[in-house]
Amino acid sequence: MSATSAIHIAALTKSFGEVDVLRGVDLDIGGGTIVALLGSNGAGKTTLVRILSTLLTADSGVACVLGFGGERARDEHVCV
Ligand SMILES: Nc1ncnc2c1ncn2[C@@H]1O[C@H](COP(=O)(O)OP(=O)(O)OP(=O)(O)O)[C@@H](O)[C@H]1O
Ligand SMILES: [Mg+2]
């Protein structure tokens, strides 16, 4: 992760039952940048944003915003 990353996502996974929606997403977005998240219907865009905004919990991986990424991230220092 870059020291200036506003959003840091690594190896993120999320499934709903049998449907593997996010299968190891890696993404770093620097502070002060504007990014469009594009993908076909059902690609997992809303799921990704819900995880970033803590409305959903990922199955595994890391999703950090401004250095914060929930309890596990705090314990394991993965957002530093
Ligand atoms: N709460 C849920 N329970 C079960 N399946 C879900 C749930 N939320 C999303 N899904 C499924 O996860 C997949 C990804 O959905 P998501 O809404 O993240 O996609 P999207 O990229 O935002 O799609 P769209 O462009 O239509 O907004 C879809 O197959 C969807 O049916
Ligand atoms: Mg959506």
Q: Which of 13, 14, 18, 21 to mutate to test the pocket of ligand 1 (most atoms within 8 A of CB)?
A: 21
First-to-last C-alpha distance (Å) of the chain: 9
Q: For residue 20, give the H/E element and its range.
A: strand 19-30
Q: Is 45 helix (H, G, I), strand (E, B) or coil?
A: helix
What domain range includes position 13? 5-76
Number of domains observed in the structure of the chain? 1
Q: Is 44 in the pocket of ligand 1 (CB under 6 A)?
A: yes
Sequential pLDDT tens for the chain (80 residues): 556 689 999 999 999 999 999 999 999 999 999 999 999 999 999 999 999 999 999 999 999 999 888 777 777 778 86
Instruction: Report which protein residue has its CA nearest ligand 1's atom 16.
Output: 44
Q: Tell me, what CATH number does 57's domain have?
A: 3.40.50.300
